């Protein structure tokens, strides 16, 4: 049973005279209760997909396609309906926790805010409920933290606060956009633990956007790899890490520190002028003539999906 | 980054492109140009000479579009010549204030240390000195004139420019080309004036414009109190005489409303111009780079 | 801690500088120092001049004069006006309350109006309504306050006769005072709100590109809620400091408005003193105004540190 069903999503930005083709005909199924990790290099479009789901993209974007959630196409929903859905049914955790929190508001209030907005709860009640939840999430020293301000804490703590505020209404889907970016080892571990907790406890679906392989290996059920705005491979966690099928996925594995840091040959893609056919073909060691002309279809093989002519 | 061929005309065109995003600021530029034109060519545009006398207190008519004042001077002529005084006082005050602010900001930001601390403390003190009351005091002791206004206001108004210049200098001094110039042994003053100065000038252009606007309002207000020079009337001075010599009581609105409107519209045009600039000062620094040869040495680090 | 002492030192230095400036100006200006200190009124009587010279201690050495000056200042003795036949301090403080009333009301109203409209103009900057309000307030920003006062006087008092032509009151009853205050307060409020509008608009424009409003939206807040619950408050902070910096300008504007409306506040006092060349009153006024500007700055400083938690926690 799919919870979130993305169908042929394409997103373009206009910057001055150029158009950035951020996402190109992406289709993705996110099942209820599963943790799906959407991975790829910086700029491949994964954050764009995340923001498209909750429609938080800037105004000069053109979005095509459909995103179905609970039978409704989110891309056609009104702003009012979206306000209801955001935070309550689909929550998104943004990058850069230090900046995502309002610097002049107390932490407790910022976590409790969804309760006040959506459930019209009085502040006092909302804050105490938030406190309870934070207790469950193993926050320590709550009394001070509730009354404290973001600048008094580290990035890791702020990130946990943001995650807490996204969970306060038990949403069906939680989207975590680069939750461990810029955090030190200690903070990373804390955040990972918290995300794993979410998985176990509430049964909500988690869409994890990240380039952190350790994180996905640890908590993801399925892995989806993106390159230049397209999804190249989707596979189950263990199977993927054992043996990635797509040439790009393989090259990515090789480039990891533990596998020798082998760089992927060729220049990165210019998103304003992507290659025709398979987007990876200029850098692919296995390319054939067909790759430059046609876009490879998604091929299902052994319960996985790969977008490559190699497996046709 | 592509190197654009230096061209002064291109700079102005780019301003127009920038201003095009805010159509109002284009209008502002045009209106201000009109005022400048009037001020420069007052002699040709005015219907009569500035000292020609006719029958006083006349209502507007064919021969006197805005009537005549208490001394029998044609008001339209007075209005046109008044533009010279008002604009000149405003611009000169702003030049003095901005120039002073530029120098102090440069020195303070570049040399830092005690110099910086002292200069900033002085700036804070000057910031709180009430300007118009001080001008009033100086004007009653000395002979009141426009030069006095320019001098006192200019010597007090640099405070608004200093901080902007200083923060820009703090930014620039860390950049590669400055550090390399220092290690190459150029004297500090040389670096300050030939490398840092050109790059800070464009930050202060919007501030300069706003200072002109504020100075024009201040001058008009002070002239209204009678602290200008009666022999060459600015717009503010005209309003004063209208008030003092019975223009208000006699319901001669054509005497005092046109100069007031001129001040307002002129100030508004300046404000509109600076509006778009304030939002894009950094882009301007890039655009104007082509204007001055020394810029071609500066690379984007 | 050191931040607090630095600031206190700065304010102390400013006060000392201004008070000293007030001491040196009449003595450095051309002309007889006695007349510079007592006003042109006394210049007609030779004998009187010498008597006053002795009284003022102008024959004593400069250093001693300076000390005596400080003694007088601290006792709020600002000299005597021969033109008005009154102690300068009594004269000033009597008139000052009216000016403060005018300024106080206008600053408060102007802050709310400017902040309200400015925030909306900044938040929805592309919309027609915002462009309209921006143009309107920019117009008020550009009109010299005395001219706006003249226009209002002309339309509402002269032509339409709705409001009175002069003074703060005729009968002294509260409704009468309010009726007389409407036009001047209106004019000064438009002036201050225009300045606040511009600042607030700019501040909101900056804030709306930050990440926390986006995150607030992600939590499900509507556009309006993000503005009213988050951005408005963050954007108001710079307003506090800027109102303080602007205070001198606002005060000067109030003086001109008083002059046009012939109100018996400090404005008309200064105007008459200029005509009569009554120097002690002018110097006293300068001092008092400077004092109020410094006080406003101190007040704003304290308010800001109370309101912004980041500053509060650094003490």
Nearest-by-CA chain A residue for C233: A104
For residue B21, is pLDDT > 70?
no
Mean predicted lDDT score pLDDT of chain B:
80
As a whole number of angstroms, the distance between CA C194 and CA B214 comes to 14
Q: CB A101 to CB C313 under 8 A?
A: no
- Chain A positions touching chain C (beta carbons under 8 Å): 54, 56, 79-80, 83-88, 91-92, 94, 96, 99-105, 113-114, 117-118, 149, 151-152, 162, 165-166
Report pLDDT for A153. 85
Report pLDDT for C80. 82
Residues of A in Cβ contact (< 8 Å) with C234: 102-104
| Local confidence band at B285 (pLDDT 50, 70, 90 cut-offs) | very low
Q: Which of A79, A99, A104, A207 to mutate to test the interface with C (most CBs of C within 10 A)?
A: A104
Average pLDDT over residues C221-246: 90
Percent of chain A with pLDDT over 90: 11
Q: Which of C18, C252, C300 to mutate to test the interface with B (most CBs of B within 10 A)?
A: C252
Interface predicted TM-score (ipTM) of this complex, two decimals: 0.88
State the Cα angle at A115 between A112 and A121, rounded to 5°. 110
Can you give the residue range of the structural domain that contains A22?
4-104+149-311
Report pLDDT for A37. 92
| Local confidence band at B289 (pLDDT 50, 70, 90 cut-offs) | very low
Report pLDDT for B95. 94
Among C211, C212, C219, beta carbon nearest to A87: C219
Structure tokens at B253: 């609105």
Among B131, B226, B236, beta carbon nearest to C248: B131
- Tell me, yes or no, whether chains C and A touch by having 3 or more C-beta pairs under 8 A: yes
Q: CB A162 to CB C222 under 8 A?
A: no
Any idea where the domains of chain B sit in the sequence?
A: 83-268
Report pLDDT for C170. 62
Which stretches does DSSP call E strand in B155-253? none
Q: CB C218 to CB A94 under 8 A?
A: yes
Residues of B in Cβ contact (< 8 Å) with C287: none
Residue A138 lies in a domain: no
Cβ proximity of C200 and C246 under 8 Å: no
Structure tokens at C198: 């511009």
Among C146, C270, C293, beta carbon nearest to B128: C293
Q: Flag the least confident range among B135-149, B213-227, C1-15, C236-250.
A: C1-15
Residue A257 lies in a domain: yes
More confident residue, B2 or C262: C262
Residues of B in Cβ contact (< 8 Å) with C256: 221, 224
**Which one, of C146, C145, C142, C178, lies nearest residue C163 by Cα?**
C178
* B90–chain C nearest CA distance, Å: 14
Q: CB A102 to CB C309 under 8 A?
A: no
For residue B292, is pLDDT > 70?
no
Q: What is the pLDDT of residues B161-203, one digit of tens each?
A: 898 888 888 888 887 777 777 777 777 777 777 777 777 777 7
Residue A156 lies in a domain: yes
Q: Please measure the distance between the N-terminal and C-terminal CA atoms of chain B and give it in whole angstroms.
A: 11
Average pLDDT over residues B275-286: 56
- Say whether residue C24 is in contact with chain B using an 8 A CB cutoff: no
Report pLDDT for B286. 44
Binding partners of A (≥3 Cβ pairs within 8 A): C
- Say whether residue C311 is in contact with chain A using an 8 A CB cutoff: no
Q: What is the pLDDT of residues A287-297, one digit of tens each?
A: 888 888 888 88
Q: CB C145 to CB B131 under 8 A?
A: no
Average pLDDT over residues C138-159: 88
Nearest-by-CA chain A residue for C311: A104
- Tell me, yes or no, whether chains B and C touch by having 3 or more C-beta pairs under 8 A: yes
Best mean pLDDT range from A171-180, A252-261, C71-80: A171-180
Report pLDDT for B287. 42
Q: CB B268 to CB C271 under 8 A?
A: no
Residue A25 lies in a domain: yes
- Say whether residue C173 is in contact with chain A using an 8 A CB cutoff: no
Residue A41 lies in a domain: yes
Interface B–C counts its CB contacts (< 8 A) at: 124
Q: B83-268, superfamily in CATH?
A: MetI-like (1.10.3720.10)
Q: Which of A87, A164, A209 to mutate to test the interface with C (most CBs of C within 10 A)?
A: A87
As a whole number of angstroms, the distance between CA C179 and CA C164 comes to 8
Q: CB A56 to CB C223 under 8 A?
A: no
Report pLDDT for B2. 39
More confident residue, B120 or B57: B120
Average pLDDT over residues C7-36: 86
Q: What is the pLDDT of residues C189-211, one digit of tens each?
A: 999 999 999 999 989 988 988 99
Q: What is the pLDDT of residues A86-107, one digit of tens each?
A: 988 899 998 888 889 999 888 8
More confident residue, B213 or A259: B213
Q: Which of C218, C231, C310 to mutate to test the interface with A (most CBs of A within 10 A)?
A: C218
Among C218, C308, C313, beta carbon nearest to A92: C218
Percent of chain C with pLDDT over 70: 94
Percent of chain B with pLDDT over 70: 84
Q: CB A91 to CB C219 under 8 A?
A: yes
| Local confidence band at C171 (pLDDT 50, 70, 90 cut-offs) | low
Residue A154 lies in a domain: yes
- Residues 200 to 229 of C: which have CB under 8 A from any A CB? 210-212, 214-223, 225
For residue A36, is pLDDT > 60?
yes
Average pLDDT over residues B91-99: 94
* A127–chain C nearest CA distance, Å: 16
Report pLDDT for B85. 92
Report pLDDT for C243. 86
Q: CB B213 to CB C142 under 8 A?
A: yes
Q: What is the pLDDT of residues C291-300, one digit of tens each?
A: 999 999 999 9
Q: Which residues contact B6 (CB under 8 A, 6 or more apart)?
A: B290, B291, B292, B293, B296
For residue C71, is pLDDT > 80?
yes
**Which one, of B91, B89, B83, B90, lies nearest residue B42 by Cα?**
B83
Among C10, C141, C274, beta carbon nearest to B121: C10
As a whole number of angstroms, the distance between CA C136 and CA C198 comes to 11
For residue A194, is pLDDT > 90?
no
Domain CATH number, residue A65: 3.40.50.300
State the Cα angle at B19 between B18 and B20, rounded to 5°. 90
Report pLDDT for C254. 93
Report pLDDT for B280. 57
Residue A234 lies in a domain: yes
As a whole number of angstroms, the distance between CA C254 and CA C268 comes to 11
Give how far Cα A147 sits from Cα of A112, A114, B164, C228, C293, Å.
Answer: 12, 17, 36, 21, 36
Q: Is A86 helix (H, G, I), strand (E, B) or coil?
A: strand
Binding partners of B (≥3 Cβ pairs within 8 A): C
Q: Which residues pair with A300 in a beta bridge?
A: A305
As a whole number of angstroms, the distance between CA C244 and CA C239 comes to 9
Nearest-by-CA chain C residue for A162: C215
Residue A133 lies in a domain: no
For residue C215, is pLDDT > 60?
yes
* A173–chain C nearest CA distance, Å: 13
- Say whether residue C26 is in contact with chain B using an 8 A CB cutoff: yes
For residue B234, is pLDDT > 70?
yes
* B182–chain C nearest CA distance, Å: 33
Report pLDDT for C140. 94
Q: What kind and span of H or E run contains C47?
A: helix C46-55
For residue C166, is pLDDT > 70?
no
For residue A123, is pLDDT > 80?
yes
Q: What is the pLDDT of residues B123-163, one digit of tens each?
A: 989 988 999 999 999 888 888 888 889 999 999 999 988 98
Q: Is A160 helix (H, G, I), strand (E, B) or coil?
A: helix
Interface A–C counts its CB contacts (< 8 A) at: 73
For residue C227, is pLDDT > 70?
yes
Nearest-by-CA chain C residue for A168: C219
Binding partners of C (≥3 Cβ pairs within 8 A): A, B
Residues of B in Cβ contact (< 8 Å) with C151: 257, 260
Q: Structurally, how many domains does chain A consist of?
A: 1
DSSP string, C153-203: IIIIIIIS--S-SS-S-SS--HHHHHHHHHHHHHHHHHHHHHHHHHHHHHH
Report pLDDT for B67. 83
Report pLDDT for B278. 63
Q: Which of A113, A179, A207 to mutate to test the interface with C (most CBs of C within 10 A)?
A: A113
């Amino acid at each position: 049973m799919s919870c979130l069903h993305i169908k042929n999503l394409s997103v373009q930005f206009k910057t001055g005279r150029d158009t950035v083709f951020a996402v190109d005909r992406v289709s993705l199924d996110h099942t209820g209760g599963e943790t799906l990790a959407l991975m790829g290099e910086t700029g491949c479009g994964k954050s764009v997909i995340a923001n498209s789901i909750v429609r938080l993209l800037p105004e000069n974007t053109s979005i095509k396609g459909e995103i179905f959630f609970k039978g409704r196409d989110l891309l056609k929903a009104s702003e009012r309906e979206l306000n209801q859905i955001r935070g309550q049914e689909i929550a998104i955790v943004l990058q850069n926790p230090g900046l995502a929190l309002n610097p002049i508001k107390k932490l407790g209030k910022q976590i409790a805010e969804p309760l006040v907005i959506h459930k019209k709860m009085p502040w006092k009640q909302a804050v105490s409920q938030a406190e309870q939840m934070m207790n469950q999430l193993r926050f320590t020293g709550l009394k001070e933290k509730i009354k404290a301000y973001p600048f008094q804490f580290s990035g890791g703590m702020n990130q946990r606060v943001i995650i807490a505020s996204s969970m306060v209404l038990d949403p069906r889907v939680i989207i975590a956009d680069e939750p461990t970016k810029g955090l030190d080892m200690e903070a990373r571990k804390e955040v990972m633990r918290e995300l794993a907790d979410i998985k176990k406890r509430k049964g909500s679906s988690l869409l994890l956007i990240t380039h952190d392989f350790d994180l996905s290996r640890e908590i993801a059920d399925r892995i989806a790899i993106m390159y230049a705005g397209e999804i190249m491979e989707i596979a189950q966690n263990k199977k993927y890490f054992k043996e990635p099928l797509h040439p790009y996925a393989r090259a990515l594995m090789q480039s990891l520190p533990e596998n020798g840091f082998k760089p992927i040959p060729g220049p990165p893609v210019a998103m304003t002028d992507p290659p025709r056919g398979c987007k990876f073909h200029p850098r692919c060691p296995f390319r054939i003539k067909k790759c430059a002309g046609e876009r490879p279809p998604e091929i299902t093989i052994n319960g996985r999906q790969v977008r490559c002519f190699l497996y046709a | 980054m592509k190197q654009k061929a230096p061209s002064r005309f291109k700079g102005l065109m780019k301003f127009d492109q920038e201003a095009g995003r805010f159509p109002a600021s284009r209008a502002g530029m045009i209106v201000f140009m009109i005022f400048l034109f009037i001020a420069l060519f007052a002699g040709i545009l005015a219907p009569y000479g500035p000292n020609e006398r006719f029958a006083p207190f006349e209502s507007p008519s064919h021969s006197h579009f805005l009537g005549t004042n208490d001394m029998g001077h044609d008001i339209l002529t007075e209005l046109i010549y008044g533009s010279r005084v008002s604009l000149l006082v405003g611009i000169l005050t702003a030049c003095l204030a901005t120039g002073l602010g530029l120098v102090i900001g440069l020195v303070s930001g570049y040399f830092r240390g005690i110099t910086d601390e002292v200069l900033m403390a002085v700036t804070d003190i000057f910031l709180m000195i009430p300007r118009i009351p001080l001008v009033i005091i100086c004007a009653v002791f000395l002979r009141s004139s426009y030069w006095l206004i320019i001098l006192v206001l200019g010597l007090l108004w640099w405070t608004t420019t200093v901080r902007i210049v200083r923060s820009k200098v703090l930014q620039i001094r860390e950049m590669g080309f400055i550090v390399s110039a220092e290690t190459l042994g150029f004297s500090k003053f040389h670096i300050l004036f030939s490398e840092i100065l050109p790059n800070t000038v464009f930050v202060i252009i919007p501030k300069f414009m706003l200072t002109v606007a504020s100075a024009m309002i201040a001058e008009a207000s002070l002239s209204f109190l009678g602290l200008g020079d009666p022999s060459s009337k600015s717009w503010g001075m005209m309003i004063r005489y209208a008030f003092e010599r019975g223009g208000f009581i006699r319901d001669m609105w054509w005497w005092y409303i046109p100069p007031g409107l001129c001040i307002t519209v002129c100030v508004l045009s300046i404000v509109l111009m600076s509006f778009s600039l304030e939002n894009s000062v950094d882009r301007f620094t890039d655009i104007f780079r082509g204007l001055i040869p020394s810029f071609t040495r500066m690379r984007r680090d | 801690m050191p931040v607090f002492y630095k600031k206190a030192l700065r304010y102390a230095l400013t006060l000392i500088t201004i008070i000293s400036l007030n001491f040196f100006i009449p003595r450095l200006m051309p002309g007889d120092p006695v007349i510079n200190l007592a006003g042109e009124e006394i210049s007609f009587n030779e004998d009187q001049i010498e008597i006053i010279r002795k009284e003022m201690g102008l024959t004593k050495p400069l250093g001693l004069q300076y000390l005596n000056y400080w003694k007088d200042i601290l006792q709020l003795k600002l000299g005597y006006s021969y033109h008005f036949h009154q102690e300068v301090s009594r004269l000033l403080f009597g008139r000052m309350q009216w000016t403060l009333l005018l300024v106080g009301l206008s600053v408060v109203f102007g802050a709310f109006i400017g902040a309200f409209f400015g925030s909306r103009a900044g938040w929805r900057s592309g919309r027609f309504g915002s462009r309209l309000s921006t143009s309107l307030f920019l117009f008020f920003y550009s009109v010299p306050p005395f001219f706006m006062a003249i226009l209002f006087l002309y339309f509402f008092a002269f032509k339409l006769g709705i409001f009175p032509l002069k003074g703060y009151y005729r009968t002294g009853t509260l409704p009468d005072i309010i009726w007389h205050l409407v036009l001047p307060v209106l004019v000064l409020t438009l002036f201050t709100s225009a300045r606040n509008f511009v600042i607030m608009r700019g501040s909101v424009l900056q804030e709306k590109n930050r990440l926390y409003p986006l995150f607030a939206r992600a939590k499900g807040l509507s556009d309006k809620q993000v503005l009213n619950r988050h951005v408005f408050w963050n954007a108001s902070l710079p307003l506090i400091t800027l109102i303080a910096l602007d205070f001198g300008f606002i005060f000067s504007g109030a003086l001109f408005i008083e002059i046009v409306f012939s109100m018996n506040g400090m404005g008309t006092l200064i105007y008459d003193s200029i005509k009569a060349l009554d120097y002690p009153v002018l110097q006293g006024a300068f001092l008092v105004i400077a004092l109020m500007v410094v006080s406003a700055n101190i007040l704003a400083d304290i308010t800001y540190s109370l309101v912004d938690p980041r500053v509060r926690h650094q003490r």
